[in-house]
Amino acid sequence: MEVGEDAEEERQQITVVGAGIGGLALAGALAATGTPYTVYEQADRFAEVGAGVQLSPNALRPLARLGLGPALDEWGVRIEAMEVRGWTGRPIARTPLGEECERLFGAPYRTIHRAHLHEALLSLGDRERVRLKSRLDSVEQTPDGARLFFADGTVRTAGVLVGADGIHSTVREVLRKDDPVFSGLGIYRGLVPVEKLPAEAREALVRLWLGPGGHFVCYPVDGGRQISFAATVPMPHAPHESWSAPADPADLVRAFGGWTGLVSDIARNVEELHQWALHDRSPLRRWSTSHITLLGDAAHPMLPFMAQGANQAIEDAMDLAACLTREPRTTVAERLARYEALRVPRTAEIQRASRGNADFLHLPDGPAQRRRDARMAVGASLRDRATLYAHETGRSVLAGA
């Protein structure tokens, strides 16, 4: 068993487990203040799986203040509107974004390939502080922090430990031993080059089609060169949650080949398909101890039906960095309690709303579906999204704040 060479130095820095979007956003915010940190990541290389990510203004404003504006301009797509249709092509609702979004909320609405966002976040900090091939096996609380036991036998100490290690978080087990909850749904995910699709695929839109038992979302990424899609379907069994389980493109055609518009075009042009079994967990009332806390999916894994998973992880990171660096005379326990008080109510509400959206989006054709469509049309105003998009987070650690 190898023990850290300088345990006191380890205790003085922020220890982050997980180099996903939330963990790297936290590392970037800490780097902006000169706060020492180390990130431990179980993967053996920098490679982010998945396809597209929708970034709303509540996450884009702090990312821009951290200096990611040019990278997001280069790799992302500025979305002009969000359109909702029925599976037969009937229009339901349209929410203008573009300039109005920037005017109301100080930032655009963007879509980006997850790998490009991951690379941009890595650029904010010191890559040498990200330790790859570091799979955490267990955590032991101590009076002044935590001891981390890794799969290779290494033992580290931490004065402040942040679990950003996803829905299957090892750090979360210190606070609560619960299992992910299977939703009964799965998502087919993939990318299709725009040149394989009709000209309308090049429009800077987030498109959503609703049908009985499922829905289909697509939008451009990679500077507009590819279309990222996510197609939600019932899944009768509960396999292990994975972003990257391979799937047969023929299954996507069977499920969506008869839908109208770009849906069938995308389904028939997919070469590589992945399936993701959708899990979440019930909201926590408490996710911190005196020296340990959680962030992102480790704290509040949510179904993707409000497109807020990555955005809430970024919000967490900014608020946590602010709490850890703003008042150095307070104790670590007080700073983590402040962070928890800021984040738990907001993320719990979004978790619950995301769960409720599954049934709402998948109504069979009929009276309930028509009432839903009318409600969505009335609520399509961009101003109705102020609760999500206008939220401010972590300003005290950001350049120019």
**Catalytic residue numbers?**
219
Give the Cα separation of 140 and 151 in Å (integer).
Answer: 14
Q: How far is CA 307 from CA 270, 291, 339, in A?
A: 23, 31, 23
What pairing do the DSSP bridges indicate for beta strands 81-86 and 205-211? parallel
Q: How far is CA 341 from CA 177, 270, 338, 347, in A?
A: 21, 44, 5, 11
Question: With left for phi above 0 and alpha for psi between -120 and 50, is residue 179 left, alpha or beta?
Answer: beta
Number of residues that this document lists for the chain: 401
Handedness of CA 118, 347, 205, 365 (dihedral sign): positive
Give the Cα separation of 253 and 2 in Å (integer).
Answer: 52
What would you report as the CA-atom Rg of the chain, rounded to the nearest whole angstrom?
21
